[in-house]
Amino acid sequence: MMQQDEMELLSDRQLAMLAGEAAFGRGLEYYREGMVVGWNRKGATITADVEGSERYRVVLKLSKRGLEGGCDCPASEGIDFCKHCVATALAYRADQAEQTRLTEGDASDRIRAYLQQMDKASLVEALETLIDSDPVLRQQWSLRADAVLGVLDHKALKKRITAAFPVNRDLFRYGQVSAYFARAEAVVEQLAEQAPQLPAEQCLKLVDYALSRLGRALETIDDSGGFRFHCEATLQTLHVQTVTRLDWSPDRLAAYLYEKAFGNEDLYPEIPGAYAQALGEAGMAAYHARLQQAWDALPALPAGAGWSEQYPYIRLRRPLFERAEAAGDLPAMLALFEKTASKERDCLDAAELCIEHGAWDELETWLARAKRAMSDQHPLQQVERQRLEVRLLLHRGDAEAAAALQWDIYQQTQHLEDYRRLVAMADEHGLAVDYRQRARDWLVARLDKASSPFAFAPRAENSLLEIELFEGRLAEAQALCAERAVAPELLHHLAKALKEPDESQPLYLRLVRHEVQQTNNPAYRNGIALLQELKGSLVTPAQQAAFEQVLTQLRTEFKQKRNFIKWLNEAFPT
């Protein structure tokens, strides 16, 4: 740490007096440009090398008499205080100021200050001891040493990669897997460090090999903790960077990436998206030409094809579709669906595209195909097709037929959204049929029937309650809830819709009972929240008194539910 007298001896004013204003200015420039390549202090003597037209040796001496200095440059000849002396003094002064700052800082700063004061031999000894105590550190430093000493080439790196990713280990414990990938990270990071110095093709082989070894390792390692992610991300980034360095023709690069995209390994970044810069326009065109060629070679997908048969179609079609979609090329998009038109889902997607692009004439064709391909295993897709048929009928101006079909859809789904579409259609087109009353009558008739013929449809009482709430018929909704068990979320909706707490309180009590009877802590919390919501709506003393009676009733009824009673008393102290 620099003393006060040293600070004065090394002040700008003192240095300018010793060297002169001109030499001080040049020395300041040398310091700022980092021309002082090293300095060392022994006792009162400071030595350094300074780069100039040549490298010059500077010797400074600090004493009570003042600061003296000389340099072996022609301007000093070992006697005069030259610009190189100024640069050295400034570098020493800055370093000492940094030492003072670190000494006054936190533990990390003080450790750094201490290390900077250690001599080289002591630092080396301390570092060797630390490295030897940690296998991962030893791996990292071994790789760095081999690289710096010039004994690490691509063959040595490949051996390191092989050792970093041993296969068939059957590891599943977190500690085992974490240690495995910690050791591997050291090699992967060293590969990333050495990559810029390796020829691009040589580097590419190493990265491909590393990704392959990682893939094989994961076959017998349960990495549900995600310890591989750092290795995987580093290798993926390195692969993109390396591919960008290749001096390959667009066709060759497209062929290579196609092989990786459709090979047996799936650890590569998204192809071709992640490689857009490397491919360029010509490479992208060549890559998609290969995709199209492979797509054209596939036969039409047979009806009832399993997942393994569908998978090649899905993988090829996705990037081709994205390219056609980006270009707004509807014929190209529909052509891709032609080959898989045996699947109702694909026919429906094609029909959606026709609507999106205003191709109404083609829509009818795709809806007919969807109908031929329909399966009883996918009833929701049949409903989806009918909804598209409604849109086609409306486009043709046949509102009555559209509403009739929409009514059929509602009878299948009993979804409020389908009801809303139906009545909005009837209102907009002034249709004679009162679909509001028809839906209500139909649901009332179904109240006592065991279940809906459509497995995915809600119970009739819930569908009817949804309509009553949507139409604002709260009295009818209350009457229905008084007679029928309904979904708690709909009962809650009604309770919040009622303006008078005297009317909503019985519904809240019913909801709270339902929650507590679930006998689990989250449900207890929900019950407390419902009571707090109810309390927030109370206005009159009579309502407050009735609420206290409800709390008393709950404390008696559920006294065995200890957690519920505890939280109830905390929320509403007696």
What is the tens place of the pLDDT at every residue in 1-55? 456 567 778 899 999 999 999 999 999 999 999 999 878 888 889 999 999 888 9
Q: Would you say 92 and 34 are in contact if contact means Cβ atoms under 8 Å apart?
A: no
pLDDT per position as a tens digit, 369-403: 999 988 777 888 999 999 999 999 999 999 999 99
Q: What are the tens digits of pLDDT across the range 537-557?
A: 999 999 999 999 999 999 999
Per-residue confidence (pLDDT) for residue 126, from 0 to 100 = 78
Tell me the average pLDDT across 261-265: 85
- Per-residue pLDDT at 342: 84
Rounded to an integer, the average pLDDT of 64-93 is 88
Q: Let me know if 331 is exposed, middle or buried by CB neighbors in 10 A (0-12, 13-18, 19+).
A: exposed
Task: Say if residues 216 and 165 touch (Cβ distance below 8 Å).
Answer: yes
How many other C-beta atoms lie within 10 A of the C-beta of residue 209?
A: 17
Beta carbons within 10 angstroms of residue 175's beta carbon: 9
Question: What's the confidence (pLDDT) of residue 456?
Answer: 75
Q: What is the pLDDT of residues 351-365, one digit of tens each?
A: 999 999 999 999 999
Give the residue-averaged pLDDT of 227-249: 96
Q: What pLDDT band is residue 121 in, cutting at 50, 70 and 90?
A: confident
Q: What is the pLDDT of residue 5?
A: 67
Cα separation, 10 vs 239, in Å, equals: 52
Higher pLDDT, 275 or 100: 275
Distance CA(49)–CA(61), nearest Å, equals: 15
Tokens of 405: 């079909």
Does 457 have pLDDT greater than 90?
Answer: no
Mean pLDDT over residues 403-412, rounded?
Answer: 96
